[in-house]
Amino acid sequence: MQEEVEQRTVTLIMNTAQAYLEKYPEAQLILTGGNADGSGRTEAVVMRDILTERGIVNERMILEDQAKSTKDNFRNTAQIIDPGEPVVLISSNYHMDRAVQTAESAGFSDVLRLPAPSSLLGFGANVIYEVVLELNELTQGK
């Protein structure tokens, strides 16, 4: 069940990213995530493969495949692009608030939100997970 929710979430995020890239043909996308799946492919590579299958050319995608957390996503991305430039953050709607806060903590000063929708079941379960992560960060001082 959890795997189905995760797959649906990835699909919705990729749908949002694809629609954005189609609307803005000059835009580039940084795909970030290093956590490998069972096949050894990182999150960034999985997303690139999905978008490539959908016709997005590789030249429009930059991979950052070392991040192990949301904080790493933005720290590593700040090494690729100027965090003072405007960025559009595409993520799930339940993750958006924490992701924007993390981006701003990493020095990104102009973060525009483009949240991907989620299923009701996925939203409820993941909002709880996000709250647990935030509480953990607060108590651990991270």
- Could you give the 3-state DSSP secondary structure of residue 87? strand
Q: Looking at the domain assignment, is residue 140 inside a domain?
A: no
CATH code for the domain of 87: 3.40.50.620
Tally the C-alpha atoms within 13 A of residue 25's C-alpha that lie toward its C-beta. Answer: 1
| Per-residue model confidence as pLDDT tens digits over 54-63 | 999 999 999 9
115 falls within a domain:
yes
Tell me if 142 is assigned to some domain. no
| Total domains, the chain | 1
Place of tokens 């803005």: 24
pLDDT in tens, 106-126: 999 999 999 998 765 555 555
**Domain enclosing residue 105, as ranges:** 2-134
Q: Return the pLDDT at 133.
A: 57
Q: Is the residue at 103 inside a domain?
A: yes
Within a domain: 67? yes
Task: For residue 82, count CB atoms less than 10 angstroms from its CB and return exposed for 0-12, middle for 13-18, buried for 19 or more.
Answer: exposed
- Residue 135 is predicted with a pLDDT of 58
